[in-house]
Amino acid sequence: MKQHGFFDENDRLKELSALGDPLEKLNKYIKWDNFRGILNKTLKKEAQGPGGRPPFDYVMMFKILILQKLYNVSDDQAEYQIKDRLSFQRFLGLALCDTVPDAKTIWHFREELVKANILDTIFYRFVRQLEEQEIISYSGSIVDATFVDAPRQRNSKAENQKIKEGKVPEEWEGKKKKHKKSQKDIDARWATKNKERHYGYKDHVKIDAESKLITKFSTTSAAVHDSQELSKLVDEKDNILYADSAYVGEEIQKCIPRKAKNRIHEKGYRNRPLTKTQKANNTRKSKIRARVEHVFATMTNTMRGIVVRSIGMARAHANIALMNLTYNFWRYIFLMRGKRAYA
């Protein structure tokens, strides 16, 4: 075996760069320090006295959460992969001699963000940055939703009935059962689509048709119909609105801004099928509307799955916010690289 050299680590990192390290591109295009102010303001605590280990850098911890969403890894796997992979260490600004946050520290940091409820703020600050750079044009907007699968619960029929009624089963109450209750998700729901069963939540999104960037989102249980969240997604910025036929109805029309052109797919009904003209119109609309499927495909394939490992709506929403933000980061560097190529 060759003897370990002083420059071996740098040489290996140069090789990774030559192969096209995607994390290096994230560091190049994302201005991470833009998030330092809100993270420090929200999370920084007064020292309780001398001694004790200083906290890890908040921006570095935030980047770990982005890594987790990009590669779909748990807290334990995040700790292991950071220690194991030079590309992860370089992305986070760590050297081999530096201490790596353990799984509990990563979990605690994410919990602090959930309690502070600042991930939505971070997401929409980045959207405003994209608007200021004129990357988001709002020439057309597309709305849709996707299932976000959560860990499946093994409850009895009686327990599930109580949960549907918005109650907590008596069997989970009491001091002796508090640990069982903490492991039960009373917010997630079952839903069926195309004969496929899903358990968990839904990510309702609006994307900019031109850039394919997510501009708004909301979180519900999987049982909520897509159309019920439309009023939370559309606003006066929308000029043209695209959606599939799930968003048809009089109440839906009321949600759409007056100036926005309605390009929602028309829907056929029993004894009243679509005409040839309506079908042709839907086909034309599909060429634009289908772009939202590219967003979900990126999350499923590049980001390795649309899932959450958490329990409860608050944590699910935080994880979905991180997932949408990570997608926007990924899409942003793709768009910026394209601009540089044609500059």
Same domain, 322 and 243: yes
Same domain, 213 and 79: no
Is 332 among the domain residues?
yes
Is 204 among the domain residues?
yes
Structural domain that includes position 30: 7-41+54-116
pLDDT at residue 178, as a whole number: 65
Same domain, 191 and 102: no
Same domain, 74 and 28: yes
Give the C-alpha separation, 298 to 5, whole Å. 40
Is 319 among the domain residues?
yes
Is 122 among the domain residues?
no
Give the C-alpha separation, 55 to 99, whole Å. 11
Same domain, 74 and 145: no
Is 1 among the domain residues?
no
Tokens 């609309």 map to which residue? 285
Tokens 């409820």 map to which residue? 117
Nearest 5°: the CA angle 275, 252, 259 is: 90
Same domain, 195 and 107: no
Q: Tell me 174's DSSP state.
A: S
Same domain, 110 and 251: no
Give the C-alpha separation, 42 to 118, whole Å. 8
pLDDT at residue 342, as a whole number: 41
Give the C-alpha separation, 129 to 122, whole Å. 11
Phi, psi dihedral angles at 329 (to 5 degrees):
-60, -50
Is 256 among the domain residues?
yes
Same domain, 110 and 202: no
Q: Which residues contact 301 (CB under 8 A, 6 or more apart)?
A: none
- How many independent structural domains does the chain possess? 2
- List per-block mean pLDDT (blocks of 10 residues) for the chain, which spans 343 residues: 68 94 96 96 76 85 98 98 97 95 98 97 97 94 98 90 87 74 91 95 98 98 97 96 94 90 95 95 97 98 96 97 98 86 42
Same domain, 63 and 143: no
Same domain, 16 and 69: yes
**Whole-prediction pTM:** 0.93
Angle at which helix 103-116 crosses helix 36-43, to 10 degrees, equals 90
Same domain, 76 and 213: no
pLDDT at residue 341, as a whole number: 45
Is 25 among the domain residues?
yes
pLDDT at residue 249, as a whole number: 87
pLDDT at residue 2, as a whole number: 60
Quickly list H helices, the chain: 8-19, 22-29, 36-43, 58-71, 75-84, 86-92, 103-116, 119-132, 157-164, 178-182, 230-233, 250-255, 276-289, 291-301, 313-342
Same domain, 191 and 98: no
pLDDT at residue 292, as a whole number: 98
pLDDT at residue 307, as a whole number: 97
Is 69 among the domain residues?
yes
Distances (CA, A) of 159 to 75, 79, 168, 174, 175: 30, 36, 8, 16, 18
